[in-house]
Amino acid sequence: MLTPQWLDQLRSRVTLSALIGRTTRLQKAGREYKACCPFHNEKTPSFTVNDEKGFYHCFGCGAHGDAIRWMTDHQGLSFVDAVKELAAEAGMDVPAPDPRAARAAEKRDTLHDVMNAAQDWFARNLASPEGEAARVYLATRGFAAHTVARFGFGYAPEGRQAMKEALSRFPEAMLIEAGLRIEVENRDPYDRFRGRLMLPIEDARGRVIAFGGRILAKGKTDAPKYLNSPDTPLFDKGRTLYNLHRAAPAARQSGRMIVVEGYMDVIAMAAAGIAECVAPLGTALTENQIELLWRHVETPILCFDGDAAGQRAAMRAVSRALPLLRPAHSLRIVRLPEGLDPDDLIRAKGARAMEDLLAGARGLVDVLWEFERDALPLVTPEAKAGLKARLLAHVDAIQNPDIAGLYRRDLLDRYSEFAFPRRENRWQQGGGQGNARPKGSQRGAWNGRPPPAPSSPESIDRLRRRFDAARGSGARDALSAAVLAGLIRWPAQLARHAEALARTPGLDPRFTALLDCCDAMDTLESGELATILSKIGLEVPAAAEYSGLRFSFLHSEAGEEQAASDLTQAIDLLVQRPVLESALAQATARFESELSEEAFAEQQRLLKRKLEFDDRLRQMATRQAGS
């Protein structure tokens, strides 16, 4: 057993600076060593190594650990392998594990022998007369001899028993367990890979753990074009990234990691000089693979084909990444031109074209917006409401509350711009272009002449008429009253939120008069605003109206910056609510008329979102009031 005492003794025998100094240039700085961090790109050293305390730390990216952690995070070893390697250098014997673990480790070591023997056999076959078809195929791909040798290409002959005969020194049960032979009931086992160009799949230490094979016979349609090893004691396809052991050192130099769809794409990229490239193995990118990528770079780039299948693959990766997002860790997406894979693009336009595409990689929020916007026709109000519901469903998947809030605001802003095209309005001249106004115009100008003073009889009369016209419409409730009181208390926020509020149907009619006050030449003071509103019959909402929602922006001691942030969150909820309630009402009506499982599922999904919305509102109000 590896006891804490034994591990502490191991750490004490390792000089951490000597261990890290093998791959990272360290400079002495007092009692510590400094370097540019090997875990992220930087120009100013923020990585320190302290031999006395036995740990390293980066003040830039937060990387921190001891000698064992260095071997697992930087060198890519498993915990057990890291301990064994350090113990061998320190001259310590690793305590024997329990018998079952020892047998499992012995089996793994033996299976590695099987895989190495199989790789040697495949490579010899490629150079033999039998491998001519495979060599011709490699020549058509333009792979140079050193690329073929570096990536270990081989060939599996057609015979169903060829591997069994070639690796006869290993029991057949081991060949089956290694995934090289297939055992079926009532039939003799046979070779898994036959008539295929072979490629070894290695782990983070460069050991062969599986194989991938491409069929060479063009007319053979009863077998998959690409075939990978099954999961074995050595190989878990959901936790393995092809070429990681080569790409990781290159990524430490370039600061990026690129994910393509297949291993042939990886090799084409490497042949073009882009070495920091990996690929999943026959599956969509998994959560474990995303975390594995984040151990090397904070924002890996996913490069997908430009066709519909590539777009679906990108969205599957995005959907799996959203719940995992954390500060500074995300993904970027590149879509290739339709009909081209990386090899095609590089052949047609050169490596520079690929580099230009990678430089233009887009963030997740951009990909989410464009995918959902273009997924369905958006010609009816119901379809537009469906777009908003889909966007918010993605936001709900994000576990980090800060990131979720930022995504929600960004996507809702884009949705508002799309669903409600900007027009010239009372509070913003120039058709919605920020603060830009036509030359010679004034803010709030009436037919080219300056507006009257906000407290003038003319302005008061106009505001009263608009308020009276709207008095009978809209709903009054606690959230509306709280937001009204917040805007009156912080009138500088009116211009920021006026357009979003004006677009929202069914609001408290008092918002109509409040928004009209944005016609003033300058931002009104809170007291002056309250005076004007009282003259038209709109009193500041009393505390009793929003007694259930004690937001911090209504607190007498609230600071302006925090109040603005909290008020923005409350307005976001106010704007979202009618769309959600409308969608829920439509889903309920559909279920009552159809009585179908699909309609019921949609109604229940929206009902759950409505309950979560109400819960989020209560939590936000309670949290903000407490703060």
Q: What pTM was estimated for this model as a whole?
A: 0.58
**For residue 19, pLDDT beyond 80:** yes
Instruction: In whole angstroms, give the CA distance from residue 66 to residue 74.
Output: 11
Instruction: In whole angstroms, give the CA distance from residue 117 to residue 122.
Output: 9
Q: Which of 217, 198, 103, 220 is nearest to 151 (CA)?
A: 198
Please give the mean pLDDT across all residues of the chain: 80
Share of residues in the chain with pLDDT > 90 (%): 30
Share of residues in the chain with pLDDT > 70 (%): 79
Mean pLDDT of the 158-166 span: 92
How distant, in Å, are the alpha carbons of 59, 342, 402, 403, 572 from that of 406? 25, 33, 6, 5, 11
**For residue 124, pLDDT beyond 70:** yes
Instruction: In whole angstroms, give the CA distance from residue 339 to residue 377.
Output: 24
Q: How many helices (H) and strands (E) does the chain have?
A: 25, 16
β-pairing verdict for 258-259 and 208-215 = unpaired
Amino acid at 295: R
Res 446: pLDDT:
42
Q: Quickly tell me which residue has 């500041």 as its tokens.
A: 540
**For residue 136, pLDDT beyond 90:** yes
**Six-digit token string for 485:** 């009181």
Dihedral of CA atoms 99, 103, 104, 107 in degrees, nearest 10, equals: 170
Alpha carbon 15 to chain centroid, angstroms = 38
Question: Higher model confidence: residue 504 or residue 405?
Answer: 405
**For residue 154, pLDDT beyond 70:** yes
How distant, in Å, are the alpha carbons of 138, 332, 334 from that of 275? 19, 18, 17
pLDDT in tens, 172-197: 999 999 999 999 887 889 999 999 99
Instruction: In whole angstroms, give the CA distance from residue 315 to residue 335.
Output: 12
Q: Which of 75-89, 175-189, 339-353, 412-426 has the lowest mean pLDDT?
A: 412-426
* φ, ψ for residue 84, nearest 5 deg: -60, -45
Mean pLDDT of the 29-36 span: 88
Question: How confident is residue 419, by pLDDT bands cut at 50, 70 and 90?
Answer: confident
Res 524: pLDDT:
53
Question: Higher model confidence: residue 407 or residue 532?
Answer: 407
How distant, in Å, are the alpha carbons of 11, 24, 71, 81, 90 from that of 87? 9, 21, 12, 10, 5
Q: Which of 208, 213, 114 is nearest to 157 (CA)?
A: 213
The answer to whether 378 and 387 have CB atoms below 8 angstroms apart is: yes
**For residue 621, pLDDT beyond 70:** no
* φ, ψ for residue 537, nearest 5 deg: 95, 10
pLDDT in tens, 289-315: 998 898 888 899 999 887 777 778 888
Mean pLDDT of the 94-118 span: 75
SS3 389: helix
Res 447: pLDDT:
44
Q: Quickly tell me which residue has 């069929």 as its tokens.
A: 215
Question: How confident is residue 491, by pLDDT bands cut at 50, 70 and 90?
Answer: confident
263-271 vs 342-349: helix crossing angle, rounded to 10: 30
**Six-digit token string for 133:** 């078809």
- Dump the DSSP string for 396-411: HH---HHHHHHHHHHH
How distant, in Å, are the alpha carbons of 215, 256, 554, 602 from that of 614? 56, 41, 20, 19
Res 463: pLDDT:
47
**For residue 64, pLDDT beyond 80:** yes
Amino acid at 293: L
- Dump the DSSP string for 203-255: -TTS-EEEEEEEE--TT--SS-SEEEPPP-SS--GGG--BTHHHHHHHHHHHS
**Six-digit token string for 353:** 């074209």
Q: Quickly tell me which residue has 């995303």 as its tokens.
A: 290
Instruction: In whole angstroms, give the CA distance from residue 233 to residue 178.
Output: 8
Q: Which of 8-12, 331-335, 478-482 has the lowest mean pLDDT?
A: 478-482
pLDDT in tens, 448-483: 445 545 445 554 455 455 444 444 444 557 777 777
pLDDT in tens, 246-303: 998 888 888 899 999 889 999 999 999 999 999 998 778 988 899 889 888 889 999 9
How distant, in Å, are the alpha carbons of 130, 231, 236, 280, 287 from that of 201? 23, 12, 11, 11, 20
pLDDT in tens, 581-617: 777 788 777 777 776 777 777 778 777 777 777 776 6
Question: How confident is residue 531, by pLDDT bands cut at 50, 70 and 90?
Answer: low
Mean pLDDT of the 516-541 span: 56
Question: How confident is residue 527, by pLDDT bands cut at 50, 70 and 90?
Answer: low
Mean pLDDT of the 139-166 span: 93
**Across 53-174, where does the E strand assignment appear?**
55-58, 64-65, 154-156
> In the chain, helix, strand, coil percent, each to 5?
55, 10, 35
Res 522: pLDDT:
47
SS3 539: coil
pLDDT in tens, 369-397: 998 998 888 888 888 889 999 999 999 99
Q: Which of 227-231, 246-250, 420-424 has the lowest mean pLDDT?
A: 420-424
How distant, in Å, are the alpha carbons of 125, 143, 170, 586 from that of 154? 6, 14, 20, 60
Instruction: In whole angstroms, give the CA distance from residue 429 to residue 440.
Output: 12
Amino acid at 474: G
